[in-house]
Amino acid sequence: MSVESRAGALLDALRERGTLREMRVIAGAQSARMSVDGREVLLFAGSNYLDLAHHPEVVEAAAAAARAFGCAAGGSRLINGNLEIHEALESELADYLGTEAALAFSTGYMANVGVIPALAGRGDLVISDALSHASIVDGCRLSRAEVRIFPHADLDHLEKLLRETASTRRDVLVVVDGVYSMDGDVAPLAELVPLAKRWGAMVLVDDAHGTGTLGATGRGSAELCGVGRDVDVVLGTLGKSLGSFGAFVAGSRPLRDLLVNTARSFIFSCALAPPQVAAARAALAVMRREPWRREQLSQNADRLRSGLAARGIATAPSATHILPVIVGDNDATMQVCERLLERGVYAQGIRHPSVPEGTARLRITPMATHRSSEIDYVVDLLAKALIG
């Protein structure tokens, strides 16, 4: 069979199921107001939540790093690519999170497929939530450990799994998202972390969407849930709130050393480029200095949530800046998405396999820099598109 006929058959099947995806073309910088497919729109579909990707200090830091160090690290960290600025970024991230150490990865996806196999292997057990991010799922598969899944946020089921394995004396790793990226709910970490600890399990929280946005000082979902000091491993991204690109794993010094020595996605991959590192450092500094961004993001999300609720539009179970409006049908979801775009709002329709079959939805993500009038406009538009 040729590549073309294989591709054609598989793409036809996706088209028939209503899950064929196409990329939109973005012009200009990522910001609250931008150009998508040639149209000026309000962006409610991104992860640049604090609007730092195009902040002058962040942009200038990246440009200065490119001038000083060039555009590539030129190799992996363990060969020639370990720059002073990588180490500086990692110290600053560890300081910010209150951990002993941190290690940068090229993406959050690569961090998960690196850290999970580093902490669990053949003969061990990984326990994870049914709605875990795809990169957690793939990290679990790559680990070759046994993987058990509990229904979303069901701590009784988690405890049952922990109890069942207690007598086997295997190493157990519990992996969850801090904030569920397609639903916007926060993992029940206040109960989950002590529960896992009681049964002697290690805990890894992927806080891709909580880093910089949640908790009194923006340290994320563990801080919000009051267990900031108890999570063994925190994974965060640099490409969302931190306006750059890349990711990190934070925890103890032995954890960092283990990852440097065993995480294949760290070892066998080029180090983050200097402009990305410098941008992340600058964004971290702005984020720490300007708590108003986090506060405004939360207020904007609350305004959107209560505005939609007043029009009878549910966004459950969201408690954060990620708001799902579940439509159900794939085609109907994409039609609403197009109607919004025509009227100047970009909120992406999300279908299987990003979410379970039959739960296609609009995923609406406000930013810290949206104005109240813009939030109200989105509420009005959505009510008209969904209710008429």
Ligand X SMILES: Cc1ncc(COP(=O)(O)O)c(C=O)c1O
Contact between 208 and ligand X by CB under 6 A: the answer reads yes
Binding window for ligand X (CB under 6 A); candidates: 107-115, 211-219, 289-297, 378-386: 107-115
CB 350 within 8 A of CB 182: yes
Nearer to ligand X, 42 or 131 (CB): 131
- Decide if 321 is catalytic: no
> Which of 237, 269, 315, 318 touches ligand X by CB under 6 A?
237
Site string for ligand X, 67-96 (x = CB under 6 A): ------------------------------
One character per residue 163-192, x = contact with ligand X (rule: CB under 6 A): --------------x---x-----------
Q: Is 135 a residue that touches ligand X (CB under 6 A)?
A: yes
| Smallest distance from ligand X to CB 51, Å | 18
Give catalytic status of residue 240 as yes or no.
Answer: yes
State the minimum distance, in angstroms, from the CB of residue 260 to ligand X: 19
Which of residues 181 and 369 has its CB atom nearest to ligand X in the complex? 181
Residue corresponding to tokens 């295997």: 170
Closer CB to ligand X, residue 135 or residue 296?
135
**Which CB atom, from 109 or from 266, has the smaller least distance to ligand X?**
109
Pick between residue 205 and residue 304 the one whose CB is nearest to ligand X: 205
Asked if residue 247 binds ligand X (CB under 6 A), the reply is: yes
Question: Which are the catalytic amino acids?
Answer: 181, 209, 240
Give me the residues that bind ligand X (CB under 6 A), please.
Answer: 107-109, 112, 133, 135, 177, 181, 206, 208-209, 237, 239, 247
